């Protein structure tokens, strides 16, 4: 095994996910936050562990000065990211920054020592531990999908990036993380986990295309702090006021574990990728583009990179999903992209050619939607 300390980002063989049982979680919450747990549910996570906490209202603790009406989420960060406490601080600060600017997202909670995080030893490894107020809302993946909702998502992401233009944190400037889209060339080290030869060849093709089509252009792209993982599990929706049961609106965003100083076009590409994965139809990404470009300019040279960037995010998710499943067979969440027909979608994108009704002509789809609206 390679120890997590040996690199600034994930290397094959590293075991970085926190090891803790439900009883250990309850003891941790009580010791650090003075909360007696009534209910405990583990939420999805790749390398981190996340637990929804409902406190026992019958047990009062004088150390607790505020109460979250919807409960809490305890986040235990993986051993690698926990080495950089500046990243933990940046995640707390970005949530407070966005909350102050009317973006609905979790709020960090101070522990009994007055701190927004602590570093705890679990199973011999150091892990950053935080508590966040739980934000109510339905997940994007669980509601009926409409063109209007995709458009709203594009609007929301553009507005998010616009607000983050003025957010800076030293902990993000030098952050290295295998899930950053700029790290696609590093997937060469993990592609062995894809056992099917045709799929591995397809992944290699995309990785090489990223190296020659995107990497030389990086210095030309507009940069800033991005969320880095806008997907169907991290976007919150609510019923549209006055609308039917099937009408929803984007109302918030969660999970800032992938925040990074990167490229705004990467944020858009990631969002479009997960919309396509959710529906299986590449056309739907065009409605996201429509909403995004109404609120944020996308230069033509950046637009031309979208298909490569989206293909690269699919490969990143498929390759790292296969690798993580090999390391942690019980973690079903890591296979979500594969289960959503990610390989089939990737092949569809790679085969598409400019023609009439091309499902990846997202600019035409966006323009047509804006004309109709």
Domain coordinates in residue numbering, the chain: 4-133, 138-372
Output the pLDDT for position 247: 80
- Mean predicted lDDT score pLDDT of the chain: 89
> What three-state secondary structure class fits 86?
helix
Answer whether 4-133 and 138-372 agree in fold.
Answer: no
Mean pLDDT for 32-40 is 92
pLDDT digits (tens, 9 = 90+) for 8-20: 555 665 678 899 9
- Judged by average pLDDT, the poorest of 63-67, 94-98, 100-104 is 63-67
Count of CB atoms within 10 A of residue 275's CB? 27
CATH class of 138-372: alpha beta
Edge-to-edge strand ranges of the sheet holding 138-139? 138-139, 235-239, 248-253
Lookup: tokens for 228: 């880095």
295 contacts 282 by C-beta, under 8 angstroms: no
Output the pLDDT for position 4: 39
Give the catalytic positions in this structure. 229
Helix (H) or strand (E) holding 261: strand 260-263
Helix (H) or strand (E) holding 195: none
Report d(CA 106, CA 96) in Å as an integer: 8
Output the pLDDT for position 5: 39
Tell me which long-range contacts 118-121 makes (C-beta under 8 A, separation of at least 24): 118/32, 119/82, 119/85, 120/28, 120/32, 120/76
- pLDDT-based confidence at residue 351 (cuts at 50, 70, 90): confident
Output the pLDDT for position 173: 87
10 vs 367 pLDDT, higher one: 367
Residue carrying structure tokens 């700029």:
182
Which architecture does CATH list for 4-133? 2-Layer Sandwich (3.30)
Helix (H) or strand (E) holding 290: helix 284-295
89 contacts 171 by C-beta, under 8 angstroms: yes
Output the pLDDT for position 49: 93
């Amino acid at each position: 095994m390679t120890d997590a300390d040996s690199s600034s980002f994930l290397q094959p063989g590293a075991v970085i996910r926190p090891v803790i049982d439900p009883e250990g979680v309850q003891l941790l919450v009580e010791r650090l936050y003075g909360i007696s747990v009534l209910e405990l549910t583990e939420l999805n996570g790749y390398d981190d562990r996340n637990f929804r906490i409902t406190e026992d209202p019958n047990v009062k603790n004088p150390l607790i000065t505020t109460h979250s009406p919807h409960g809490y989420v305890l986040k235990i960060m993986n051993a690698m990211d926990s080495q950089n406490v500046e990243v933990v601080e940046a995640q707390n600060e970005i949530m407070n920054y966005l909350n102050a600017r009317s973006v609905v997202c979790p709020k960090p909670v101070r522990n009994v020592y007055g701190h927004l995080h602590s570093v705890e030893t679990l199973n011999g490894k150091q892990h950053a531990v935080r508590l966040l107020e739980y934000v109510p809302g339905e997940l994007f993946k669980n509601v009926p999908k409409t063109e209007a909702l995709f458009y709203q998502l594009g609007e929301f992401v553009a507005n998010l990036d616009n607000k983050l233009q003025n957010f800076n944190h030293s902990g993000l400037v030098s952050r290295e993380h295998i899930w950053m889209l700029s790290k696609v060339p590093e997937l060469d080290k993990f592609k062995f986990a894809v056992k099917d030869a045709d799929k591995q060849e397809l992944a290699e093709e995309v990785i090489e295309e990223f190296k020659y089509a995107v990497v030389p252009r990086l210095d030309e792209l507009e940069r800033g702090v991005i969320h880095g993982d806008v997907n169907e599990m991290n976007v919150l929706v609510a019923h549209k006021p006055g609308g039917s049961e099937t009408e929803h609106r984007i109302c918030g965003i969660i999970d800032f574990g992938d925040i990074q100083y990167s490229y705004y076009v990467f944020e858009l590409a990631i969002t479009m990728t997960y919309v396509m994965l959710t529906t299986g139809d590449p056309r739907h990404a065009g409605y996201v583009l429509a909403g995004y470009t109404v609120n944020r300019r996308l230069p033509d040279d950046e637009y031309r990179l979208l298909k490569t960037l989206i293909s690269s995010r699919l490969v990143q998710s498929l390759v790292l999903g296969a690798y993580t499943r090999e390391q942690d067979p019980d973690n079903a969440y890591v296979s979500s992209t594969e289960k959503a027909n990610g390989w089939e979608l990737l092949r569809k994108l790679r085969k598409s050619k400019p023609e009439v009704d091309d499902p990846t002509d997202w600019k035409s789809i966006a323009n047509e939607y804006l004309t109709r609206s």
